[in-house]
Amino acid sequence: HLESNPVTMFSWRMVTVGLFYCYIRTDVTHSQTEALFPAAAGVTRGSTTAVNPTFYNTISDAHLLFEILMAGVHFEPSGEFSVDDAELSSLHQTRNLDIICEEVLPKKLADVFRLISKLSSHRGPLHQEDFERIVMTLVYTTQKMIGSDSVHQREMWGESFVGLYKAIKRDLIRTN
């Protein structure tokens, strides 16, 4: 019998372990590459299509984002994004931020919690574009939390805020 041969048994065990390892590795790779923001894959604005739009590429872009956030931003119930400062609002980079905020970020509470769930199983440091989108989603959830009429809605948006904050904190601790 083949089963009683120790070499054959060892070979079958190695094949089984190898297949199991490949299955685990594939699952880990899939969870690492699963898109946190699937809407970023292809955003169409008028006749223009933007694939994976991002806001900042340099440190000066990061400073500009901070300046925009400090000047004040608003997410309207219609989904429109606006910057309070007219000069900052007219910049080309701000138009990229408009696209990200209006087309890429999750707006429904269920979608924000889905993002938080994906973030909890995310391995490794976040990509720069995902980090900036999480920060902007955090700003969005803050405005939704403050603007909520019911205590329940305020608590739910508050929970989503905490989940996003923890994901950002985890990423910063992991990368520093």
The answer to the question of residue 95 being in a domain is: yes
pLDDT digits (tens, 9 = 90+) for 47-74: 454 556 778 788 888 889 889 999 999 9
The answer to the question of residue 147 being in a domain is: yes
- Four-residue CA torsion sign, 71, 84, 60, 143: positive
Q: Which domain holds residue 167?
A: 34-175
Tally of structural domains, the chain: 1
pLDDT digits (tens, 9 = 90+) for 17-34: 554 444 444 444 334 446
The answer to the question of residue 167 being in a domain is: yes
Which distant-in-sequence residues (6+ apart) come within 8 Å of 125 by Cβ? 171, 174, 175
Task: Give dist(CA 26, CA 19) in Å, integer.
Answer: 10
Amino acid at 165: Y
The answer to the question of residue 17 being in a domain is: no
The answer to the question of residue 111 being in a domain is: yes
pLDDT of 167: 93
Exposure string over 103-114, b if 16+ CB within 10 A, otherwise e? bbbbeeeeebee
Which distant-in-sequence residues (6+ apart) come within 8 Å of 115 by Cβ? 36, 37, 106, 134, 137, 164
Return the closest-CA partner of residue 130 out of 10, 22, 18, 38.
38
The answer to the question of residue 5 being in a domain is: no
Distance from first CA to last CA of the chain, Å, rounded? 57
The answer to the question of residue 47 being in a domain is: yes
The answer to the question of residue 7 being in a domain is: no
Q: Which helix (H) or strand (E) holds 99?
A: helix 92-99
**Average pLDDT, integer, range 28-47:** 59
**Average pLDDT, integer, range 36-56:** 66
**Average pLDDT, integer, range 38-51:** 60
